Amino acid sequence: MKTIFAVHHVFDCLDYNEHHYFTSYDEAFELFVDIKKSIKENKAIDETYDDTSDDFHVLYDNGLERVYIQQIYI
């Protein structure tokens, strides 16, 4: 069985979501950290739901944004 890691960047108010796939957790984590940092720089965050090592989920007054790492076995 092989393991891959997906970084999902999900937007509540858009029909567009980003999905990136990696063979290494370290590569996935680098992208996760970059996206998390860019979300945190947005001053419009109303509330933070989750802020863990592999899941970051925030609310805005007009929607939400989430980035997380998923481990997938194939």
What's the mean pLDDT in 6-23?
Answer: 87
Given a cut of 80, is residue 64 above it in pLDDT? yes
Contact (CB, 8 A) for 56 and 47: no
Given a cut of 70, is residue 66 above it in pLDDT? yes
Return d(Cα 11, Cα 8) in angstroms, integer: 10
Distance of CA 14 to the CA centre of its chain: 15
pLDDT tens figures, 17-56: 899 999 999 999 999 999 999 888 877 788 887 888 899 9
Return d(Cα 51, Cα 68) in angstroms, integer: 10
Whole-number pLDDT of residue 50? 80
Whole-number pLDDT of residue 14? 62
